[in-house]
Structure 1
Amino acid sequence: MWIVKLGGSLCADPVLVEWLDLLAQLGGGRVTVVCGGGSFADEVRRVQAHWQFNDLAAHNMALLAMAQVAYQLHALNPTLRLTTSKTDIRRVLQKGQPALWQPFELQRDQPDAQTNWEVTSDSIALDLARRLNAERLVIVKSCAIDPQQTLPQLCEAGVVDRRFGALSEHAPFPIEFLHKTELERMRALLLGDVRQLG
């Protein structure tokens, strides 16, 4: 089972539809899509900066932002089946369908190590991949990704959040970073076409 994280910045990009089509066509039974919060999460940041409320509230609001984007993606491609838990994800995948996760289960009543802006949807996707014993994590970004950069350098450059590096240590699965234009590379990964991956 694979986790594919689509960055929130893709939400207003025409290429989003192509990504959803690809994952719907080739991801049945093995792909779970995790989406960023996009402009909804940006609004949470703006409102928190204005009102200066705590990170616990912002965390829960940001998770709802991710859930709203999931509703958007499902509306654009209903083949992706909405899920809200590990059990739900496994049920959908066992039916041979691709899953689309809404992280309601991560909402908190009390603050913990995850309830701050150092943990974004990238680390949330990584955590889900660990909890589901995933075979691979693919993170799709709109920003430029230097293939020569190490993971710590990507964290330092802000490509992924600060916690991602530590959380990814000794991950028992490969982690791939793809630019939004690399649809054919994603296709090759899903098809196991090693000739196109060199």
Structure 2
Amino acid sequence: MTAAIRVAVIDDHPLFREGVTRSLSEIDGFEIVAEGSSAEDALRIAEQLNPHIMLMDISMPGGGLNAIPLILAKAPLQKIVMLTVSEASDDVTAALGHGAKGYVLKGIGSRALADVIRTVASGESYVTPTLSAKLLSSRSHASANQFELVASLTSREQEVLQLVASGMSNKLIARKLDLQEKTVKHHMTQIMTKLGVTNRTEAAMVWRDAIDQRGQ
């Protein structure tokens, strides 16, 4: 039996926090190990309890964005998912830049949130697709030619990225290319670093932009 994913929920709205806690507790495979309402709580919980995933709001005492680098300085392996109402590109960019592994809007359903947590716990990143698209559309194409970025990837990395853009999971890609799943994850890490993106959705969009550029 697979061990439960240990989750901490940090939000200064008790009713919302209790709702998230209760919803996840009712889904198999999750264990709520702590709740908190401030950046100080988040730092203490990360240090003392080492949850697999920390769900954290931006707007709370001490500031969620400010808390990210403090938490990672004390617990470098802590995976943080921002769960917030903010759709501001600056907030998304800041959160991911500080080291958060996920960014999700509070309107998400409990089952979808559970899927996001599983995704991040497995070592991948996740950003609500509408926000990823917004981020990419706001970037100046002049700052980085998408075709040149993709051309900088190795042939294997391009092969993996093409399959990601087609919608395949790491597990399916590993099976198709006869690789270990951890090898595919390593390739994805390298791909995202070279492309300057933070998640699979953005990487796939860069690939599609590059294909469009090549076809012009």
Give TM-score scaled by structure 1 length. 0.37
Q: Which has the higher contact order (CA 8 A, sep 6+)?
A: 1
Give TM-score scaled by structure 2 length. 0.35
